[in-house]
Amino acid sequence: MRARWLLVVLGLLLAGCTSSGDTATDGTITLRFQSLAWQDESVAANKALVKEWNATHPDVKVEYVQGSWDSVHDQLLTSFEGGEAPDIIHDASDDLADFAYGGYLADLRELLPERLKSDIPQRSWDTTTFGDGVYGVPFLQEPRVLIANAKWLREAGVRIPTPEQPWSWVEFRRITRQLGDGDGKYGVAWPLKEPVSATLNLSLSAGGQLFRRGADGKVTIRFEAADQTVPRTIHDQANTDRSASPTTLGSGGSDTLPGFFGGRYAMVPLGFSYRQQIAQQAPKGFEWQVLPAPAGADGLTQGVSPQTLSIAEDSQHPREAAEFIDFMLRPENMVRLALGDWMLPTGTEALKSPSLRTPKDGWATGTALATHLRSAPAQSVRGYPEWKDKVATPAFQEYYSGAIDLADLRKRLEEDGNLVLARYQR
């Protein structure tokens, strides 16, 4: 009798439980939303929006699941192959190609409302378009900017660039020579532990493309003059002018902040979201400002890989998942997410928010750069991760350190790189 009672209780408990995308016996749908938010403000904003959704949608509940940027690709791949992927997936556009081509993500073209489609510019949608489908909603993006010691620049008497009148790459190199003293103080510190995306994305301003797609649809690498402008500038600052600190070339962005606060570097090129760390960690009285990155033949154009929200192809309730994404990315909610991450929203309505256009902490400078952001050059290139890890990263690191010259860099990027890409395009 006791055994039968236990089986009945267990059956009732199991009937009331839901897994990803399941429908409970009372008709309630439960969707799993895996978020990669990690900063306290960002986590709070995401959790608050989930709570607000659940309070107003009793029939479609969303379960918040915390993920990690450090392991998201492998974790998602495992969950896809095991049939346990979350319904709503937070990721970055440069991580989507393999999942999109592999059939793991839903094509969103028929799922998203027109409001959301029209609010986000096509240049942002390009970052999540693979083949004929759209596999993510790009919603947060960050340009690379120069974080500068305002007092240092003011006392040096250099021209302060603006989005309307930025420095050229030539002027930037000249000014970093002027700011350094050749005796332990440098005009700039380049944190290039991960040199490839920074180099390629900034190279768009000079007209660099690197990846050329032929009439047959196949991609080849050609490291031409426009592609060389930014790498040559960095190399010459570090090895010829000595205006860039050689010791930071292998560092991450956060590693440069103590030296920046300590007066060793006048400027550090960083992602826009680093402003939060600077605002929190800068010594009392330290004056800093946000400047646009240098401009080239194509102006302030930069490549970006926005944060994205996708839907798993195996989700049992893709339309409900799309409705939740639409809720998350209403203009007022997109602003909350942007402020939480110290990044820029992709939505045109959200970008109009006065809270994102204040001079404080450089918000206005960043917002002025939003229209210049484009899909990163390698966004849809199959084989890019292998090329980046095995060919480009060591080649750029050796070039920036002075171990190889420009001709050697070109040979390795093109010859070794095209061998890698060819295997993905047979």
**What average pLDDT score do residues 24-33 get?**
86
Please give the DSSP secondary-structure letter assigned to residue 27.
Answer: S
What does the alpha-carbon distance between residue 304 and residue 309 come to, in Å, rounded to a whole number?
16
* Measured CA distances, 194 to 61, 178, 231, 251 (Å): 39, 27, 14, 8
Q: What are the pLDDT digits (tens) for 155-210?
A: 999 999 999 999 999 999 999 999 998 789 999 999 999 999 999 999 999 999 99
What pLDDT is attached to residue 62? 98
Paired residues of 397 in beta bridges: none
Supply angle C-alpha 158, 293, 357, rounded to 5.
Answer: 95
Q: Are 369 and 292 in contact (CB under 8 A)?
A: yes
Q: Which of 7-21, 154-168, 338-352, 400-414 has the lowest mean pLDDT?
A: 7-21
CA atoms within 13 A on the CB side of 167: 18
Whether 26 has a pLDDT exceeding 80, the answer reads no
Is the Cβ–Cβ distance between 384 and 93 less than 8 Å? no
Give CA–CA dist 265/181, Å, rounded: 10
Residues 88-144 have pLDDT tens digits of 999 999 899 889 989 999 999 999 999 999 999 999 999 999 989 999 999 999 999
Residue 8 confidence class, pLDDT cut points 50, 70, 90: very low
The 10s digit of each residue's pLDDT in 382-405 is 888 899 999 999 999 999 999 999
